[in-house]
Chains A and B, each alone.
Chain A
Amino acid sequence: MRKPYVRPMPGTWYLHTWAYRLFMIREVTSVFIAAYLVFLLVWLYRLGQGPEQFEAMLRATRSPLSVVLHVLALAAALYHSCTWFNLTPKVMPVRVGEERLPDLLVAVAMGYFPWIVLSGLLVWGALR
């Protein structure tokens, strides 16, 4: 038997078009979020250790490197949130009778609106 043809698949296929790049950016947000989760655990651990230890943690958080990393993590987290809310109505369409509700309406009602209310409440609760 002749050797079967194997279509070449370059290791960088996900850099070739914008659709692939955006898909890969969305997937890689999870790396930033995972790193932030570890940071948040350390932050909470230092909070439990006492006021001086927590102040040292906040001083480290104010360092320029930390600020840059957290701006990147925030951008990644926001990208995840938006893509997640936009995809929800495509994965779980909402029907009223025979009509399928518009995706944008479902994304706002089940995603963006609760997200903004919840974020506002948490900021208010933590800083009041």
Chain B
Amino acid sequence: MSRSNEAFWWSLFSAGGVMSALFIPVFIVLSSFLIPFAGSQSDETRYDHLVHAVSFWPVRLVLLVVLALCFFHCAHRIRHVVTTVGLRISDGLLAVVCYGAALAGAIATVFVLARL
């Protein structure tokens, strides 16, 4: 039997699916609704509070794990959507583009979090 990497990609897909199910809705609510539209806090208080929160290393570690796994989850699903709708594109090229983009996202996350 030929060796396949599929089990590895499916395990990243499942881990990312759990992370995205648990964290992404509340992240959207916070980053795009509650924090930008919070009227009760002054801009400075809100900024200082957020910078203080992300300066705590476990918060950054959680953000890194959640974001990196979500990137691979989406890459895997998008790869299968492209195949499912019947686009004729080489499987190998499609996998390289999807997982390559996810890897780039994970590396970008490391750099963004390191600067916080």
The chain A residues found within 8 Å of chain B, CB to CB, are 9, 11, 14, 24, 27-28, 30-31, 33-34, 36-41, 43-45, 47-48, 51, 54-55, 58, 61-62, 66-67, 70, 73-74, 77-78, 80-81, 84-85, 111, 114-115, 118-119, 122-123, 125-127
Contact = CB atoms under 8 A, between A and B. Distances in A.
Contacts of B33: 70
B25 A37 contact: no
Contacts of A33: 20, 24, 70, 73-74
Contact of B116 (A9, A47, A85): A47
B43 A55 contact: yes
Nearest to A88: B18
Interface of B: 17-18, 20-38, 41, 43-44, 47, 49-51, 53-54, 63, 67, 70-71, 73-75, 77-78, 80-81, 84-86, 105, 108-109, 112-113, 115-116
Contacts of A51: 43-44, 47
A77 to B, nearest CB: 4
Given A34-B78, A122-B30, 13 more contacts: A27-B80, A33-B24, A38-B105, A41-B112, A45-B115, A61-B31, A73-B28, A77-B28, A81-B25, A115-B22, A119-B25, A126-B30, A127-B38
